[in-house]
Amino acid sequence: MTTLFTRYRLGGMTLPNRLVMAPMTRVRAAAGGLATPSMATYYAQRATAGLIVTEGVQPSLLGQSNPGTPGLHTEGQTASWRQVTEAVHANGGRIFAQIMHSGRVSHPDATGLQPVGPSAVAAVGEVFTPGGPRPAPVPRALAAAEVPEQALSYARAARRAVDAGFDGVELHGANGYLISQFLSSNANLRTDGYGGPIAHRIRFAVEAVAATAEAIGAERTGIRLSPGGTFWGVQETEVAELYRALLTELARLDLAYVHLEATSEEELLLGLRRAWPGTLVMNPVLPMGPKQTGRAEADRWLGLGAELISFGRSFIANPDLVERLRTSLPLAPVDEATYYQGGDAGYLTYPAYQHTGAAKNY
């Protein structure tokens, strides 16, 4: 019987369990988008996960969303990540970098550049800047000749990720960022080969993934998707048809996995499970919603056909989440005030479960 603690073969790796640490922005990078020793400790503390997927890493300065986030587009950034991958591997873990191009979800105050998107349509909401939240600006619509260059930025960052020691990468195709914007029917108003009908709206995603798979190998390449999600004001029409078409094209590439978020009704998600022939990582609850993934939700989706289950916030406050779930220990609550405040408090200060009596600490 398959459980959360059953081994799984993913590409060239054997995962010791089915738990994936989901990507979560923590804005702890140093100036210049450099990874830090604290980031190495943070990820190494959680290396018992079957697989860690890092916070979103920008593939270019143009692709940066929030201040304080790390990059993979300079030699210095690449070198800085080696301390992270080495620490995770020394603790027996496996780690993918999530490559995240923000597209229109950015601000000139953060990057010095006007954000870009499929069309000149602003995101809904306020974006983070060094001076605090600001209304999302209207992006510059990418010219047709520029679009392939942005797709290739994922592949270039993926090469740097492998150079830095990562076991693979996950393209962020979800939550209203650039790939998601191209899939959208209200952020993408293009009338050329990258907009309009479904076959055109999925083109950017397919090109970005194909370029990445060619650069580092399909077995090292995954993608995260949020079918029907409305983050940053994106909307999608014909959601089932859109994602079935996308998965059909991605299936030709023999990727490591597709990572789905529970952003649509279960019937639609089960249809996508059936449409995807490869490994499915399932995030069973709405990201940043009122509920966190627990053992019950994980077991249910394993029974519904997912091979791996991603946990987000539970991993923040419980670096030993695997052991806590394995032995039915209580989970520590997360301090939301420390999500993005910087520093080590609420980052490195969550302990493993403290056993009492003759039992030792783990």
Sequential pLDDT tens for the chain (362 residues): 889 999 999 999 999 999 999 999 999 999 999 999 999 999 999 999 999 999 999 999 999 999 999 999 999 999 999 999 999 999 999 999 999 999 999 999 999 999 999 999 999 999 999 999 999 999 999 999 999 999 999 999 999 999 999 999 999 999 999 999 999 999 999 999 999 999 999 999 999 999 999 999 999 999 999 999 999 999 999 999 999 999 999 999 999 999 999 999 999 999 999 999 999 999 998 776 777 788 999 999 999 999 999 999 999 999 999 999 999 999 999 999 999 999 999 999 999 998 765 444 43
- CATH number for the domain that contains residue 147: 3.20.20.70
Task: Please indicate, yes or no, if residue 118 is contained in any of the structural domains.
Answer: yes
Domain count, the chain: 1
Task: Please indicate, yes or no, if residue 356 is contained in any of the structural domains.
Answer: no
Among the listed residues 42, 154, 177, 194, the single catalytic one is 177
177 counts as catalytic: yes
Task: Please indicate, yes or no, if residue 298 is contained in any of the structural domains.
Answer: yes
3-state SS of the chain?
CCCCCCCEEECCEEECCCEEECCCCCCCCECCCECCHHHHHHHHHCCCCCEEEEEEEECCCCCCCCCCCCECCCHHHHHHHHHHHHHHHHCCCCEEEEECCCCCCCCHHHHCCCCEECCCCCCCCEECCCCCCEECCCCEECCCCCHHHHHHHHHHHHHHHHHCCCCEEEEECCCCCHHHHHHCCCCCCCCCCCCCCHHHHCHHHHHHHHHHHHHHCHHHEEEEECCCCCHHHCCCCCHHHHHHHHHHHHHCCCCCEEEEECCCCHHHHHHHHHHCCCCEEEECCCCCCCCCCCHHHHHHHHHCCCCEEEECHHHHHCCCHHHHHHCCCCCCCCCHHHCCCCCCCCCCCCCCCCCCCCCCCC
Task: Please indicate, yes or no, if residue 350 is contained in any of the structural domains.
Answer: no
Whole domain around residue 27: which residue ranges? 8-338
Task: Please indicate, yes or no, if residue 314 is contained in any of the structural domains.
Answer: yes
Task: Please indicate, yes or no, if residue 330 is contained in any of the structural domains.
Answer: yes
Task: Please indicate, yes or no, if residue 351 is contained in any of the structural domains.
Answer: no
Task: Please indicate, yes or no, if residue 135 is contained in any of the structural domains.
Answer: yes
